[in-house]
């Protein structure tokens, strides 16, 4: 190894979030994010609208547990923006696989890729908006699949809401009640009625996605589904963490 590089690694050690030294991310962690996206909304109790409409379909790359959780936490909250280069290609490939699933519902129309908004405090603490990176990645993957997609940061969090980290299921729901709003720019950009795909980093209880879905639908837009990096598995799913198959196209058509 070059002496300068050796000295740099002594002063600033490189390690995968899982703890493996001398690599930014290890082959094992990369492999956990390399599979096809799976349906995970059944494990998010707060996605249920309780009005007879099925929960919005959600696709995830992996369960939010073990090394995947370490990767996401380091990427989002511990300054590891270099992990964009691990997560973005994985999510772009997953979004490309979703293209044929979404196309029947779109009928050739474009889709708006809407990032779930963070609080202003979270953006300041992180010095960036990681979910916007994911939204651009998803739009790129859909474009790869022949779907016309554009990123539309249409939503904002009201100042009264706090970050969701550390809150339980009921507290998340209360915290987000009325906490998401359409921006004037978002309303103008989306127009009268747009088909939307939501993007977030992690699906936990589903309270955040449900609040975003309501905000868009109240403005007249259709939410076809959501994509996330990872989803918290329910206790019942612990022995079968792979979720539902990608090819459940019919249920997305019911949503529209």
Closest CA to 138 of 209, 186, 56, 200: 200
Mean pLDDT of 67-94: 96
For CA atoms 159, 193, 184, 129, the dihedral sign is positive
Closest CA to 242 of 100, 46, 56, 61: 61
Name the least confident of 14-28, 76-90, 173-187.
173-187
Q: Where are the alpha helices (DSSP H) in 23-146?
A: 27-32, 66-77, 84-106, 120-126, 130-144
Q: Return the H-helix or E-strand segment holding 196.
A: strand 195-203
Rounded Cα gap, residues 102 and 104, in angstroms: 6
Q: Is the pTM of this model over 0.75?
A: yes
pLDDT tens, 33-58? 998 999 999 989 888 876 777 899 99
Mean pLDDT of 55-81: 95
Mean pLDDT of 64-69: 96
């Amino acid at each position: 190894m070059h002496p300068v590089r050796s000295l740099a690694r002594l002063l600033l050690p490189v390690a995968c979030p899982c703890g493996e030294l001398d690599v930014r991310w290890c082959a094992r962690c990369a492999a956990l994010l390399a599979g096809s996206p799976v349906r995970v909304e059944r494990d998010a109790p707060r996605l249920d609208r309780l009005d007879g409409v099925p929960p919005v379909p959600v696709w995830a790359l992996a369960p939010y547990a073990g090394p995947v959780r370490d990767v996401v936490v380091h990427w989002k909250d511990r300054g590891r923006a270099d992990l964009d280069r691990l997560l973005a290609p994985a999510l772009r490939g997953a979004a490309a696989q979703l293209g044929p699933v979404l196309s029947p519902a779109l009928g050739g129309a474009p889709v708006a890729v809407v990032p779930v908004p963070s609080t202003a405090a979270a953006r300041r603490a992180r010095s960036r908006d990681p979910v916007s990176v994911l939204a651009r990645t998803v739009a790129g993957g859909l474009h790869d699949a022949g779907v016309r997609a554009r990123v539309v940061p249409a939503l904002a969090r009201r100042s009264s809401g706090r970050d969701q980290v550390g809150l339980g299921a009921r507290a998340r729901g209360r915290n987000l009640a009325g906490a998401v709003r359409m921006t004037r720019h978002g309303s103008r950009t989306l127009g009268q009625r747009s088909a939307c795909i939501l993007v977030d980093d992690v699906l936990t209880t589903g309270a955040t996605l449900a609040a975003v879905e309501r905000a868009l639908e109240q403005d007249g837009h259709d939410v076809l589904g959501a994509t996330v990096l990872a989803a918290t598995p329910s206790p019942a799913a612990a022995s079968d963490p792979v979720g539902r198959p990608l090819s459940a196209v019919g249920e997305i058509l019911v949503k529209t």
